[in-house]
RNA sequence: GACCCGUUCGUCUAAGGGUUAGGACACCGCCCUUUCACGGCGGUAAUACGGGUUCGAAUCCCGUACGGGUCGCCA
């Protein structure tokens, strides 16, 4: 049997981290087992389903590298892949239920007769979970009354206006699309008996279910789009790598059962399995997500780093063709966790002049001998013949000796004078890239600032 | 409220009857670096609670507490 999984988002205008992780698990599972991954858009709620809101979701999936074998844009033998275009299919299945006497009309809506017996979900993660829909559905909690009220256990599958309800279309589509494995959030576990009843009524064998634990925000409540790290496009804009984000998402609820945590996409495909999925919800940790991304950044090849960083460099006004760029990127990668941080670390190399950070300047200004130190550095740099890291170091060394100081005592003032800040990339290579003239000019400007 | 799922350092997790309860992020300290970082080494820190079963329980069972989910003519 070929494994067929699917991701079935409703277009809300955002690709949420929870949805993206569900998509990832389905994708990994399909890829791991040489199966197919389908994408189906659940746009039965017409108002929210704009082209734009659909595009955001597809773009997010593409950015993460979660390509689909069947679905919007690629087609496939089980289309259409938008629920809004599948009305005839739903009508056909409804007719089957009608002729079997399993549905009835109620104030214009169509209700499905639930069976009065125990249905057992055999979940790959949660184990066996049994429910009797007739019993459990005959009472309903009224949030306003704050108490249970009588209810009709037969749930609605079609609205009076002809629109079909999620449970029904979801099941019909999974049958029609020959889905073998449904990996979805645990919030659907309680809905699954309804789906089981529908599969049975439609004469279909249900797929294998795997309900994965939910991702919560750091306060332990449901992630909302306001929470940091909640939306996939923010990662893209924030300079994360798709593989880093996928790696971190995989880790929220799954582990390889050894101490390894950093995996590229191919390694995730190789190692992912449902047995490694946890049973309990996890809280999102933005700091760890940053760390994982930083590890991916460190492992990137020089050319990949250059192409990935491109948009962020251009935005900062750095010419991607500058010959100093490859070396500068090498300096940057060791100390950033996102691509977006790169310009801040090496931007000064490509700038006309240093931008002085006030608190950094204030820090070195505390030294009484600062003007002399800068002057000494200027003199010794001016005398350097071969402007290389070694030559620069030697110059700093001799400048320090002349002042009766250790070399380290001059490094920080030199850093602030040439780079504008106490932080940033490694000073000596930066000066080498900057060139002798530029360094001397910056020292002069800094001295002038001091007055 | 009923039903369902869950509970190991602050966070993500490993250990599925016998471990000094392991790793990672974060935090702290030391070393390295004559700068900023990286890195290396070390430290603080957990089995929710109460009962069982067992020679022995984080691990199996029951209860309690807490957290999450579901209970729509939303998906």
**What would the pLDDT profile of A67-107 be if each residue is shown by its tens digit?**
999 999 999 999 899 999 999 999 999 999 999 999 999 99
Pick the catalytic residue from A222, A225, A288, A365: A225
Determine the Cα–Cα distance for residues A218 and A228; give it in Å rounded to an integer: 10
Q: What is the dihedral of CA A368, A370, A376, A381, to 10 degrees?
A: 160
CB A153, CB A134: distance < 8 Å: yes
Nearest to A207 by CA among A230, A232, A184: A184
| Residue A82 CA: distances (Å) to CA of A9, A22, A209, A236 | 10, 19, 22, 26
**Contact between the CB of A412 and strand B at under 7 Å:** yes
Structure tokens at A321: 């063709």
Between CA A312 and C1' B42 the distance (Å) reads: 38
**What would the pLDDT profile of A280-328 be if each residue is shown by its tens digit?**
999 999 999 999 999 999 999 999 999 999 999 999 999 989 999 999 9
**Contact between the CB of A215 and strand B at under 7 Å:** no
Tell me which protein residue sits closest to nucleotide B73, measuring alpha carbon to C1'. A159
| Residue A30 CA: distances (Å) to CA of A23, A386, A400 | 11, 58, 63
Nearest to A250 by CA among A222, A221, A278, A287: A278
What pLDDT shows up at residue A365? 84
Calculate ∠ Cα A181-A183-A187, nearest 5°.
135
CB A125, CB A131: distance < 8 Å: no
What pLDDT shows up at residue A367? 82
**What would the pLDDT profile of A262-276 be if each residue is shown by its tens digit?**
999 999 999 999 999
Tell me which protein residue sits closest to nucleotide B71, measuring alpha carbon to C1'. A140
Predicted confidence band of residue A47 (pLDDT cuts 50, 70, 90): low
What pLDDT shows up at residue A51? 86
Structure tokens at A247: 């790696």
The nucleotide whose C1' lies nearest the CA of A285 is B11
Residue A256 predicted with pLDDT over 90? yes
**Contact between the CB of A137 and strand B at under 7 Å:** yes
Determine the Cα–Cα distance for residues A87 and A284; give it in Å rounded to an integer: 38
Across chain A, mean pLDDT equals: 93
CB A194, CB A155: distance < 8 Å: yes
Say which residues have a Cβ less than 8 Å from residue A368's Cβ, sequence separation at least 6. Answer: none
Residue A309 phi/psi, 5° resolution? -80, -20
Determine the Cα–Cα distance for residues A182 and A252; give it in Å rounded to an integer: 19
Predicted confidence band of residue A50 (pLDDT cuts 50, 70, 90): confident
Ranges assigned E (strand) in A224-305 = 282-283
What pLDDT shows up at residue A73? 94
DSSP H or E segment with residue A56: helix A51-64
Determine the Cα–Cα distance for residues A63 and A147; give it in Å rounded to an integer: 46
pLDDT, mean of residues A205-226: 93
Between CA A412 and C1' B72 the distance (Å) reads: 65
What pLDDT shows up at residue A395? 92
**Contact between the CB of A256 and strand B at under 7 Å:** no
Between CA A283 and C1' B11 the distance (Å) reads: 7
Determine the Cα–Cα distance for residues A168 and A280; give it in Å rounded to an integer: 28
Ranges assigned E (strand) in A49-146 = 103-106, 109-112, 118-123, 127-132, 139-142
| Residue A133 CA: distances (Å) to CA of A33, A148, A211, A340, A437 | 34, 16, 19, 52, 80
Residue A49 predicted with pLDDT over 80? no
What pLDDT shows up at residue A425? 92
Residue A451 predicted with pLDDT over 80? no
Determine the Cα–Cα distance for residues A96 and A134; give it in Å rounded to an integer: 22
Tell me which protein residue sits closest to nucleotide B13, measuring alpha carbon to C1'. A255
pLDDT, mean of residues A398-412: 88
**Contact between the CB of A48 and strand B at under 7 Å:** no
SS3 A14: coil
The nucleotide whose C1' lies nearest the CA of A414 is B35
Determine the Cα–Cα distance for residues A82 and A8; give it in Å rounded to an integer: 10
| Catalytic (active site) residue A225 | yes
What pLDDT shows up at residue A362? 86
**What would the pLDDT profile of A154-194 be if each residue is shown by its tens digit?**
999 999 999 999 999 999 999 999 999 999 999 999 999 99
- In chain A, what percentage of residues exceed pLDDT 70? 99
**What would the pLDDT profile of A100-130 be if each residue is shown by its tens digit?**
999 999 999 999 999 999 999 999 999 999 9
CB A199, CB A175: distance < 8 Å: yes
Q: Give pTM, 2 decimals.
A: 0.94
Structure tokens at A256: 């390889």
**Contact between the CB of A174 and strand B at under 7 Å:** no
Please, what sign has the CA dihedral across residues A389, A395, A397, A400?
negative
Nearest to A257 by CA among A241, A278, A282: A278
Residue A13 predicted with pLDDT over 90? no
Between CA A215 and C1' B46 the distance (Å) reads: 21
Between CA A134 and C1' B62 the distance (Å) reads: 29
3-state SS record for A290-358: HHHHHHHHHHCCHHHHHHHHHHHHHHCCCCCCCCCHHHHHHHHHCCCCCHHHHHHHHHHHHCCCCCCCH
Residues 337-396 (A) near nucleic chain B, CB < 7 A: none
Residue A48 predicted with pLDDT over 70? no
pLDDT, mean of residues A226-244: 95
Q: What crossing angle do the helices spanning A427-434 and A436-450 adopt, rounded to 10°?
A: 110
What pLDDT shows up at residue A368? 82
């Amino acid at each position: 049997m070929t494994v067929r999984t699917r991701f079935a988002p409703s277009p809300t205008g955002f690709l949420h981290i929870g949805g993206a992780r569900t998509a990832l698990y389905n994708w990994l599972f399909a890829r791991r087992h040489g199966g197919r991954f389908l994408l189906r858009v659940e746009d039965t709620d017409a108002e929210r389903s704009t082209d734009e809101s659909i595009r955001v979701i597809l773009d997010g999936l593409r950015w993460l590298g979660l390509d689909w074998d069947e679905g919007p844009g690629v087609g496939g033998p089980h289309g259409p892949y938008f629920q809004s275009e599948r009305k005839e299919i739903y009508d056909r299945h409804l007719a089957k239920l009608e002729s079997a006497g399993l549905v009835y009309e109620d104030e214009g809506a169509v209700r499905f007769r639930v069976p009065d017996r125990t249905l057992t979900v055999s979940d790959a993660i949660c184990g066996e979970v049994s429910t009797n829909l007739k019993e459990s559905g005959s009472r309903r909690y009224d949030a306003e009354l704050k108490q249970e009220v009588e209810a009709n256990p037969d749930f609605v599958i079609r609205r009076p206006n002809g629109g079909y309800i999620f449970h029904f279309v979801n099941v019909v589509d999974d049958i029609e699309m020959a889905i073998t494995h449904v990996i979805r959030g645990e919030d659907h576990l309680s809905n699954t008996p309804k789906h089981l009843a529908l599969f049975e009524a439609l004469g279909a064998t249900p797929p294998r279910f795997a309900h994965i634990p939910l991702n919560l925000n750091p306060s332990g409540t449901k992630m909302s789009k306001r929470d940091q790290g909640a939306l996939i496009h923010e990662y893209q804009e924030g300079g994360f790598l798709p593989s880093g984000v996928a790696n971190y998402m995989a880790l929220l609820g799954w582990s390889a059962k050894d101490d390894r945590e950093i995996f590229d996409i191919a390694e995730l495909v190789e190692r992912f399995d449902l047995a490694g999925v946890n049973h309990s919800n996890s809280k999102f940790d933005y700091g760890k997500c940053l760390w994982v991304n930083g590890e991916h950044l460190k492992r990137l090849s020089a050319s990949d780093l250059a192409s990935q960083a491109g948009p962020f460099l251009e935005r900062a006004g750095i010419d991607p063709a500058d010959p100093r760029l490859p070396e500068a990127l090498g300096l940057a990668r060791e100390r950033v966790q996102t691509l977006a941080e790169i310009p801040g670390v090496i931007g000064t190399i490509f700038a006309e002049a240093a931008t002085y950070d006030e608190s950094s300047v204030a820090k070195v200004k505390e030294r009484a001998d600062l003007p002399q130190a800068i002057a000494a550095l200027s003199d010794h740099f001016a005398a350097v013949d071969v402007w290389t890291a070694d030559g620069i170091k030697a110059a700093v060394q001799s400048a320090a000796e002349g002042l009766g100081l250790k070399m380290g005592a001059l490094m920080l003032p030199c850093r602030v004078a040439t780079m504008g800040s106490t932080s940033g990339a490694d000073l000596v290579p930066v000066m080498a890239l900057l060139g002798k003239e530029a360094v001397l000019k910056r020292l002069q400007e800094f001295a002038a600032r001091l007055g």
